């Protein structure tokens, strides 16, 4: 069996994350891997927008929907009132300065970037035989946890933890369950 090297492509934030593991038959330097990532990302953004149903609006442009929304607000409130308190002299200047601009966020394209890396550079997805994923916010051994309360594996851990602790200590101290 030939040696396989594992690589990861993903993103992380406080609300959301996704990491996809890939493998390749050859060892790739960080610089080369980063260049592959950059080129795959550019391929999505520049050449495959329609294929991946990304926004019709170009990067950094004001969407037609938001431009119309801003126009309606001017119609409802009046231009003078809308411009009040700003340094803008015209409606168009206000819209250019304050309207929402469209930007592709990386979390919307991670999987497409990975697909291109697979197609273009010969990576393959790592396939797991088994995987354990539990809720990360809940307390591990608290049966009354506010997150992951239906997590079967954490409930098994909690049940066995308290049974073994009781056996070890000979009492129920610290147990927080019914």
| pLDDT value at 148 more than 80 | no
> What CATH number was assigned to the domain covering residues 5-54+104-125?
3.30.70.2710
Q: What is the pLDDT of residues 161-172, one digit of tens each?
A: 999 999 999 865
The number of beta carbons lying within 10 Å of the beta carbon of residue 123 is: 25
Q: What is the pLDDT of residues 20-38, one digit of tens each?
A: 999 999 999 999 999 999 9
Cα distance between residue 29 and residue 42, in whole Å: 20
Q: What pLDDT shows up at residue 177?
A: 46
Helices (H) and strands (E) in the chain, counts: 6, 3
Q: Where in the chain is the domain with CATH 3.30.70.2710?
A: 5-54+104-125
Structure tokens, 14:
């406080």
% of the chain residues with pLDDT over 70: 93
Q: CB under 8 Å to 110, separation ≥6 — which residues?
A: 9, 10, 11, 18, 20
Q: What pLDDT shows up at residue 1?
A: 64
| pLDDT value at 175 more than 60 | no
């Amino acid at each position: 069996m030939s040696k396989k090297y594992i690589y990861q492509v993903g993103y992380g934030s406080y609300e959301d994350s996704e990491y996809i593991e890939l493998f390749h038959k050859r060892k790739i330097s960080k610089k080369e891997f980063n260049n592959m990532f950059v080129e795959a990302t550019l391929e999505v953004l520049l050449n495959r927008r329609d294929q991946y149903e990304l926004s019709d609006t170009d990067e950094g442009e004001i969407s037609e929907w938001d431009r119309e929304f801003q126009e309606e607000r001017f119609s409802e409130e009046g231009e003078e009132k809308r411009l009040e308190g700003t340094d803008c002299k015209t409606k168009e200047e206000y819209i250019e300065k304050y309207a929402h601009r469209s930007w592709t966020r990386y979390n919307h394209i991670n999987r497409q970037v990975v697909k291109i890396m697979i197609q273009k550079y010969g990576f393959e997805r790592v396939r797991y035989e088994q995987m354990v994923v539990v809720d990360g916010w809940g307390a591990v051994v608290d049966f009354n946890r506010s997150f992951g309360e239906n997590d079967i594996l954490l409930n098994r851990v909690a049940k066995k933890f308290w049974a073994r602790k009781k056996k070890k200590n000979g009492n129920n101290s610290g147990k927080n369950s019914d």
